[in-house]
Amino acid sequence: MRNPFDCPSILSEAMPSFRFFGPLFLAFLVFLSQIALTVQTFTGTYGINYGRIADNIPSPDQVVTLLRAAKIRNVRIYDADHSVLEAFSGTGLDIVIGLPNGQLQDMSSNADHALNWVKDNVQSFVPNTRIRGIAVGNEVLGGTDYELSGVLLGAAKNIYNATRKLHLNDIQISTAHSFAVFANSYPPSSCKFKDNVNQYMKPLLEFFSQIGSPFCLNAYPFLAYVSDPGNIDINYALFQPTQGIYDPKYNLHYDNMLDAQIDAAYSALENAGFGKMEIIVTETGWASKGDDNEPGATVTNARTYNYNLRKRLAKKKGTPHRPKNVVKAYVFAVFNEDLKPGPTSERNYGLFKADGSISYNIGFHGLNAGDSSFLSFKQGIYPQGLFRSYALVYSLSALMVLLFWS
């Protein structure tokens, strides 16, 4: 019987196999470790915007309870409020924070300020708070503030460089655009960027292409319908059965407006030379109440749109023009925000009311749903998911060792 302590003998017999399989084995371990540690900016297909322009909404801790009860993991906020970032710590929720438009000029002109901003609002909270991205400004291009448009790229570059200098390499940099950047979006194949937007958009897209960022689109079939109710079938906007539209250039049929809006944006990207860039819908929703000149802003329509949106995203499919690009979207918004300026609709996009109860039923539960388990959620998703990843690595590694020594 072989002496189990005869290590030189065992190693000498195994050495030829190791020389052959060793490099493959080591490469395999490296590959598995990358699988375990790869950060996903967007998990699944459904997310939500957490706006806070209100004086009567639940605390950030209660919002965490609400979102986890609803199993909504992807969240966007419009600033970097520390009370929110602290509340999200250890929850497993993935969050994209925002650099407000009012700070773009400063961040563009002063790299040190950008570095300090990232230190204070990102480095101080990761990894316990799962900050996955920074949205640099919101709907900057396409408006009339050309000075702000001119500093957007500089701000994005300085924020990006700051994350790299601080070794925060898994933070994605982006900015969201409204449909105001497009010259035409009907039919989808005809869509292009406006001439007065191109001078700012193309350099921005070039930069985002280099760093692997998506094109972030705020897409609202509701706003399109409100602007032209006489010519747009509301069923087409609500994902309801309808004749839809036909795009002769693409030779494609569209049965809902959101898909058409996304493909219009893809067309604009193609025309600009960035056809490979992914699109993520960073805002979409439907108001449950509006002014007299906002037709369609009803609770019934809001429920129909958001319920059908969830079903559409759950299918994990692409659009007619990009069937392999799975649609991912953040719905707007968590709450009705009573202090938002503008038309009545602006204060009535929430899936939840200010007291935490549901605005209408699309399958979520409110804070007052009566289930005490909703109120104690601070542990769970993040550690469990990470441990599962490592368990996978170690299990497969053990299997490789057994095969190696057999």
- Would you call 139 a catalytic residue per the annotation? yes
Distance CA 186, CA 231 (A): 12
Q: Phi and psi dihedrals of 358, rounded to 5? A: -75, 145
Q: Which residue has the tokens 């290590």?
A: 7
Determine contact, residues 351/306, Cβ cutoff 8 Å.
yes
CA 30 to chain centre: 28
Determine contact, residues 320/17, Cβ cutoff 8 Å.
no
- Would you call 283 a catalytic residue per the annotation? yes
Distance CA 160, CA 228 (A): 40
Q: Among residues 13, 86, 139, 337, which one is catalytic?
A: 139
3-state SS record for the chain: CCCCCCHHHHHHHHHHHHHHHHHHHHHHHHHHHHHHHCCCCCCCCEEEECCCCCCCCCCHHHHHHHHHHCCCCEEECCCCCHHHHHHCCCCCCEEEEEECHHHHHHHHHCHHHHHHHHHHHHHCCCCCCEEEEEEEEECCCCCCCHHHHHHHHHHHHHHHHHHHHCCCCCCEEEEEECHHHEEECCCHHHCEECHHHHHHHHHHHHHHHHHCCCEEEECCHHHHHHHCCCCCCHHHHCCCCCCCEEECCCCEEECCHHHHHHHHHHHHHHHHCCCCCCEEEEEECCCCCCCCCCCCCCHHHHHHHHHHHHHHHHCCCCCCCCCCCCCCEEEECCECCCCCCCCHHHHCCCCECCCCCECCCCCCCCCCCCCHHHHCCCCCHHHHHHHHHHHHHHHHHHHHHHHHHC
Determine contact, residues 328/280, Cβ cutoff 8 Å.
yes
| Token representation of residue 327 | 């649609």
Q: Among residues 86, 147, 270, 283, which one is catalytic?
A: 283
Catalytic residues: 139, 283
